[in-house]
Amino acid sequence: MLQADFVIVGSGSAGAAMAYRLSEDGKHSVIVIEYGGTDFGPFIQMPAALSYPMNMRRYDWGYKTEPEPHLGGRVLATPRGKVIGGSSSINGMVYVRGHAHDFDHWADQGANGWSYADVLPYFKRMENSDGGEAGWRGTSGPLHVQRGPRKNPLYKAFVEAGRQAGFETTKDYNGSKQEGFGPMEQTIHQGRRWSVANAYLRPALRRKNVRVVNGFARKIVIENGRATGVEIENRRGVETVRANREVIIAASTVNSPKLLMLSGIGPAAHLREHGIDVIADRPGVGQNLQDHMELYIQQESLQPITLYSKLNLFSKALIGAEWLFFKTGLGATNHFEAAAFLRSAAGVDYPDIQYHFIPVAIRYDGKSAAEAHGFQAHVGPMRSKSRGNVALRSSDPWETPAIRFNYMSHPDDWADFRHCIRLTREIFGQQAFDLYRGREISPGAHIQSDEQLDGFIRDHAESAYHPCGTCRMGRADDPHAVVDPECRVIGVDGLRVADSSIFPRVTNGNLNAPSIMVGEKASDHILGIQPLAPSNQEPWINPRWRESDR
């Protein structure tokens, strides 16, 4: 019989961290249920190959949105990891904690005990930071974080252009000062993708009290108001994995609400519509879906120094061979090595725009590289007011859920994006780029008016793949909260959710780091131990924030 003290659904960012922490003292047994297969192989482990696993059905659930009404009915990809390590095995390996004020906002929204002072000690506990700001970063955790080598002169030009435009620079956006231009951080270690599979799950599996069970989670088994196990389907058929203490769902912003609803926890009318018996009427399940969107602003390079010359098969073979044998060279980085976090206007107190900079003009999915040497900035607003939802299509667990982000449904989103495009042009127009700047590839210099920019946004805005919020954390008496501040599902005993779905609001930047932090902190709540003592460190806030955007 399959049973353990704790049964975790999902081996991704939060799930793997919990498997590691819940089994650490040797007193508790842990089973991790994962439907996906192994993460061995160069497509996942080689950082530069990041565009491949995200587009491989072997590693990705292959979810897509419903036609998005404000993007001309476009259907957008919503990749989620279907592999050991979850989405940390297919993501872009960019490490961003989020801004201090993001977590203070969580606490204001009813996630008591999740302010920046409360979560900073967990970020430190999980990190092994190479070159981060002393006193603000962890140096002995399982998760290795590094900066890229930044050998290409375009990285330096990007940071210098930001300074010339009057913006701040920062040596460590994950330290005291997020705002400004500076080096980007990566979850890469010794030339390999440092996913949670490598950082947390493999070390945990060396213990006798942890095992991974391969299976597709169909529903949570609930008896007399208490979660007692998980019904899974695998080669042997349908069986139940029993939980002696608790079931913890860490299955992603798409699959966690889906699993709750299939188990009778969610909006009562929606469940009844699909013939599912209502165990707990939680109207917030599947609601509050959020994401970041981004655009690629591409510029031709006058000098042949970009990665364009490495896109041919011969160069790729050489890069692959060097990586395979030595774990060095251009294969050992994700090429996101310079970044910026900026404020969009006077009166905005902390950054709400993010930049990733890369010395090639290419799409995230690796397709349609510009036919020339070029460079690009990925830019997008961080705090969209648009909200969507995840809903069931039927009571069949194998049917993919309906995902509606409702992208760009708030008028402010359009103004924010237009500002992002014009701001990027201003940065690329600085003296630091004079030696390199050719024509604008995308959107193209002829796209200038609000109407033209809106058309470009409608046709080209992409997801940054940061979905969150569908099982929102809040006060136990909040009818729209799904979990309380200890990640317990409200209305059901012995059941928790701990992953990016519990974020009350999307954080500033990429979501891998805060998702792992959720797993780290939830572990202490699950074990009933005193959370780490709050920090008294004060983050830097621009003294000119009321007067200027820079």
Specify binding-site residues.
5-34
Amino acid letter, residue 101: H
How would DSSP label each residue in 171-196?
Answer: S-TTTT--SEEEEPEE-EETTEE--H
Helix (H) or strand (E) holding 247: strand 237-249
Amino acid letter, residue 144: H
DSSP 522: H
Give the strands of the sheet with 143-147, arranged side by side: 127-129, 143-147, 185-186
**Residues with catalytic function:** 466
**CA dist., res. 543 & res. 550, Å (int):** 10
Binding residues for FAD: 5-34
**CA dist., res. 57 & res. 53, Å (int):** 8
**CA dist., res. 180 & res. 133, Å (int):** 15
Alpha carbons within 13 A on the beta-carbon side of 48: 24
Distances (CA, A) of 354 to 184, 343, 420: 11, 9, 9
Angle 450-460/411-428 helices, nearest 10 degrees?
100
Amino acid letter, residue 145: V
**CA dist., res. 306 & res. 158, Å (int):** 14
- 64 has which bridge partners? 77
Instruction: Kindly report the three-state secondary structure assignment for every residue of 327-377.
Output: CCHHHHCCCCCEEEEECCCCCCCCCCEEEEEECCCCCCCCCCCCCCCEEEE
Give yes or no for a contact between 327 and 83, defined as CB atoms under 8 angstroms apart.
no
Q: Among all chains, which residue has been given the structure tokens 């231009």?
A: 181
**CA dist., res. 56 & res. 82, Å (int):** 10
Angle 153-164/411-428 helices, nearest 10 degrees?
110
- Residue 224 token pair: 């007399």
How would DSSP label each residue in 503-514?
Answer: -SS--SS-SHHH
Beta strands in 392-506 (DSSP E): 402-404, 437-442, 462-463, 495-497
